[in-house]
Structure 1
Amino acid sequence: MINFSEYLPYAFALLIAIPFLVLLRQFVYTYIKLKNQEIKLLSVKSNSENKTHSYERMTLFLERIKPSNLILKFDKDLAAHEFVFLTEKTINEEFDYNSSQQLYITKNSWQNIVDSKNAIIDMLHKTYESLNNNSDLDDFKTVFIMNYMNDTDFIGATIEDLRREIILLA
């Protein structure tokens, strides 16, 4: 015959331990759930910061490729064709450096940025072709600025679109 009195202390300890184990399980479950929510919240915040940073970087890129800023670059002793080459190279290098930002920017805005970059490069070449190839750099820069001013301000429009989008994100 089995003597249950020998097992009585173990049964008593088990009866006392079960509620604590249930409470411990509930605590761990709640803790894990809250940590997962925190991770999700941080990833959403990080994604929002990445988007904001992308819009800032692309706005800076657009500001840098405005003709009024481009004409201030490089040595004044360059020939016009050297200026065109170096300016185009600089624009393309900076664009390539920032190309990863398209992950965070809408397709429409990214296309506007690409179109603005290409329009500036086209304007550089058209200005150079329209002038006598032997014209000096100051004449080239003047005509380049005038061509941009006489055209629609596509860079300003693109920056304004980016500004509207970033306000919608906030």
Structure 2
Amino acid sequence: MKLDNLGDFLIILIPAGLVLVGMYLLMRSFLKKQLLEQSFWLKKQSSETVIPLRIQAYERMTLFLERISPNNLLLRLYENAQHVGDFQQLILKEIREEYYHNLAQQIYLSPGLWDEVNKAMNEVMVLVNTSAAELQNDDPALNLSKKIFEKVINEEKNPTQEALLLLKKEVQMLF
């Protein structure tokens, strides 16, 4: 009699166990599908938000590099200084302000591009400082402009050009 009870119990237990395993597998599959759909949806929403911000960061870095380019920087600031020392300080202050204004954009740029932007900025600052060191502080500001232009022409490279080229390549890879 006990064997019959055990057999009856197994007859009930085995199908119930199979149903439970089937339900578990079905629910697991359903939840995986839901997670994938939710992940896709979040990535889609994220890209709709992040891509415009990345484009804006690239635009701002382009503008930053153009603004600190020696040609543009000197033409924009020349009238505001009388002497080399004043002009040097004004140029360096302008570069720093531009940099700090755009500092947050680094989160949208690749580390290599951000390093290149920093390198370009530092090269411009070194160019200004070495040019000013070759002159007297009370010389006319025009002399500093001439010295900087002379160095840029002799080096045959604008310090910001390499960073701009890398920036353009990175933007092209994005699209």
Normalized against structure 2, the TM-score is what?
A: 0.72
Q: How many residues align?
A: 142
Q: Where in structure 2 are there 5+ consecutive unaligned residues?
A: 1-35
Residues 143-167 of structure 1, C-alpha deviations (whole Å, 9 max, x = no match): 1111122223331111011001100
Whichever residue aligns with residue 171 of structure 2, its letter is I
Task: Check if 1:45 corresponds to 2:48.
Answer: yes
C-alpha deviation, 1:48, in angstroms? 1.3
Q: Is the 8 A contact 1:109 1:162 kept in 2?
A: yes
Correspondence for 1:168: 173
Q: Which residue among 52, 59, 71 is the counterpart of 2:74? A: 71
Larger helix percent: 2
Write out per-residue CA displacement over residues 81-116 of structure 1, whole angstroms, 9 at most, x where no aligned residue.
111111111111110111111101111110010011
Aligned CA distance change for structure 1 residues 124 and 164 (closer, same or farther; 3 Å): same
Q: Map of 1:104-115 to 2, 5 A cutoff?
A: 104-115=108-119
1:85 to 68, 84, 89: 89
CA separation in 1, counterparts of 2:153 and 2:117?
Answer: 19
1:73 is displaced (CA, Å) by: 2.7
Identity among equivalent positions (%) equals 25
> Cα deviation per residue 1:113-151 (whole Å; 9 max; x = unaligned)?
001101111111110101233321111101111112222
Task: List aligned pairs for 1:127-166, cutoff 5 A.
Answer: 127-151=131-155, 152-166=157-171
Q: 2:104 & 2:69 partners in 1: Cα distance?
A: 21
Runs of 4 or more, structure 1, over 6 Å off, are: 33-36
* C-alpha distance in structure 2 between counterparts of 1:103 and 1:36, whole Å: 22
